[in-house]
Structure 1
Amino acid sequence: MYELVQIAENSYYIQSPAKIGVVKLNDTDVCLIDSGNDKDAGRKVRQHLDANNWHLTAIFNTHSNADHIGGNQYLQNKTGCKIYAPGIDCGFTRHPILEPSFLYGGFPPKDLRHKFLMAQESNAEYLTDDALPNGFQKIPLPGHFFDMVGFRNADDVVFLADCLSSRETLEKYQISFIYDVASYLDTLEMIKRLEAKIFVPAHAEATDQIAPLAQFNIDKVNEIAEKIIAICATPLCSEQVLQKLFAEYGLQMNFEQYVLVGSTVRSYLSWLKDMGKISARFKNNQLLWERVKPQ
């Protein structure tokens, strides 16, 4: 873990729970794509920087989930590097309490206020095209989180952030976190058509052929959607839908799974309602979801 892997002339990644991209800008300067999940990840990154006599100029965060911005504060304090984050995610990066609050839907209990869901604050600036190094291109990747982006660099390496999961992860955990299901599927369809020398997903192996994994993720989304529709054959509240989905996949509930999968299931319910596949109604002061029967 935390090995430095070279994948092109000036492109590397650090193997970690969420891969950290490293791109050489010249003989001495480098930038990072994300920073890992905590201060310890930041320390491991700094060891690689020192070993190679590299100067860190900037961190480009793909989005604001804690496992991608957790090393920001440490590295910024130690190197003075700039930090950039896209759109709404810049606000979450500056104020990390927003992530567990958003997931929980209110002020989060202590069980959710920890490094896996709430990174340390860092002084992030809004990501603009002007902030990108020469040869960099920003790739919008909406769906997983608010304004997530990926990057293509001059080596024709594409860093894909969290827009897809590995087969192994999906087979083990079944339900990956999604904020906007419709945008997520659009992003995966776009990824299927994308070409590059090599693709680096944050949570899957680097590859020069990304389309099969993108399709596998699409198929899993559609499978989950069909299960939710079937579960809603009887009118149920979202908590009951969540419970039945956990039972269907043999998952074990805890606080983190409750907010991550719970938020995702509510996103599926919104998407399915907007498509006219399920309906919502209030009964006895309870919001119930029900499958729309074919005409």
Structure 2
Amino acid sequence: MYELVQAGEKSYYIQSPAKIGIYLKNDTDMYLIDSGNDKDAGRRVRKILDQKGWTLKAILNTHSNADHIGGNHYLQQQYGCDVFSGGIEAAFTENPFLEPSFLYGGYPFKELRHKFLMAKASKTKPFSDPAFPHDVEVIPLPGHFFDMVGFRMPDDTVFLADCLSSAETLEKYHLSFIYDIDNYIKTLDKVAAMQATMFVPSHADAVKDIRFLVDLNKKKLQEIAAYIMSACIEPTTFERVLQRLFVDYHLTMTYEQYVLIGSTVRSYLSWLRDKEKMNAYIENNTLLWQCVTD
């Protein structure tokens, strides 16, 4: 873990729970793509940079989930470097309390206020800022989170952030966090049509051909959508659907999984409702869901 792997002529990644990308601008100046999940990840990054004699110019954040921005604060303190982020992601990065609040849907209780869901704050600049490396292409990849992006480097290496889960993760956990199902599907189609010398997803192996992994993720999404519809043949509550998912897929409920998977299930229900495949109505002061049948 935390070994340096070369992905392209000027691109590298640090093997970690969420891959940390590197763009080597020249012999000494480099940019990070995300920063890991905490201060310890930041220290490990600094150790690698010191060993290589590289200087951190800036961090390019794909999105604001804590496991991608957790090292920002430490590295910004150590190097005085810029952090670039965009849209709603910038707001969450500067105000990380928003993430557990959004996921829980209210003020998060103390078991949700920790580094897994809430990084330390860091100051950001927009991608339009003149200091942003002009030779790096910003690729919008919404769906997993609000304004998530990927980056294409000058050597044609593409960092894909969290728009794909590995085959192993899909087989073991089945559900990955998705905020906007409709935009997520559009992103999958967009990625499937991309060409690059190397693709580097944050939570899957780097590959030259990404289409197989896209197909796996799309099939799993369709499977979960079909399961949720089957769970709503009779009118039922969100909580009951969530419980059935955890039982039938042999998952273990924790506070973190409750908010992450719970938020994802709500997103599926909203998407199915907008597609007119699901009805929602209130009965006896309870919101009920029922799939539309022919």
Q: Distance in 1 between matches of 2:87 and 2:244?
A: 35
Q: 2:138 — aligned with what? A: 138
Q: Distance in 1 between matches of 2:43 and 2:288?
A: 48
CA distances 1:22-47 after superposition (whole Å, capped 9, x unpaired): 11111211000000000000000001
Q: 8 Å contact 1:180–1:267 — kept in the other structure?
A: yes
Letter in 1 for 2:12: Y
Give the Å deviation of 1:131.
4.4
TM-score by length of 2: 0.98
Q: 1:190 — aligned with what? A: 190
Q: 8 Å contact 2:231–2:241 — kept in the other structure?
A: yes
Q: 2:271 — aligned with what? A: 271
Q: Distance in 2 between matches of 1:18 and 1:65?
A: 10
Give the Å deviation of 1:133.
1.3
Deviates more, 1:126-135 or 1:251-260: 126-135
Letter in 2 for 1:40: D
Q: 8 Å contact 1:100–1:118 — kept in the other structure?
A: yes
Per the alignment, in what secondary structure is the counterpart of residue 235 of structure 1? coil
Letter in 1 for 2:279: S
Letter in 1 for 2:184: Y
Per the alignment, in what secondary structure is the counterpart of residue 59 of structure 1? strand
Q: 1:147 — aligned with what? A: 147
Per the alignment, in what secondary structure is the counterpart of residue 126 of structure 1? coil
Q: How many residue pairs were aligned?
A: 294
CA distances 1:49-103 after superposition (whole Å, capped 9, x unpaired): 1111111010000000000000000000000000011110000000100000000
Q: 1:38 — aligned with what? A: 38
Q: 8 Å contact 2:104–2:259 — kept in the other structure?
A: yes
Q: 2:22 — aligned with what? A: 22
Q: 1:63 — aligned with what? A: 63
Percent identity over the alignment is 60
Q: Distance in 1 between matches of 2:114 and 2:215?
A: 33
Deviates more, 1:245-254 or 1:105-114: 245-254
Q: Distance in 1 between matches of 2:127 and 2:120?
A: 19
CA distances 1:158-184 after superposition (whole Å, capped 9, x unpaired): 000000100001111110000000100
Q: 8 Å contact 2:84–2:132 — kept in the other structure?
A: no
Structure 1: segments with no counterpart, 5+ residues: none
Q: 2:205 — aligned with what? A: 205
Q: 1:246 — aligned with what? A: 246
Q: 1:289 — aligned with what? A: 289
Q: Distance in 1 between matches of 2:288 and 2:21?
A: 44
Q: Distance in 2 between matches of 1:177 and 1:7?
A: 26
Q: Distance in 2 between matches of 1:200 and 1:146?
A: 20
Q: 1:131 to 1:290 in 2, by over 3 A?
A: farther
Q: 8 Å contact 2:237–2:289 — kept in the other structure?
A: yes
Moved over 6 A (4+): none
Deviates more, 1:128-137 or 1:109-118: 128-137
Per the alignment, in what secondary structure is the counterpart of residue 16 of structure 1? coil
Per the alignment, in what secondary structure is the counterpart of residue 56 of structure 1? strand
Q: 1:104 to 1:215 in 2, by over 3 A?
A: same
Per the alignment, in what secondary structure is the counterpart of residue 5 of structure 1? strand
Q: Distance in 2 between matches of 1:246 and 1:52?
A: 45
Q: Distance in 1 between matches of 2:79 and 2:22?
A: 15
Q: 2:127 — aligned with what? A: 127
Q: 2:85 — aligned with what? A: 85
Letter in 2 for 1:31: Y
TM-score by length of 1: 0.98
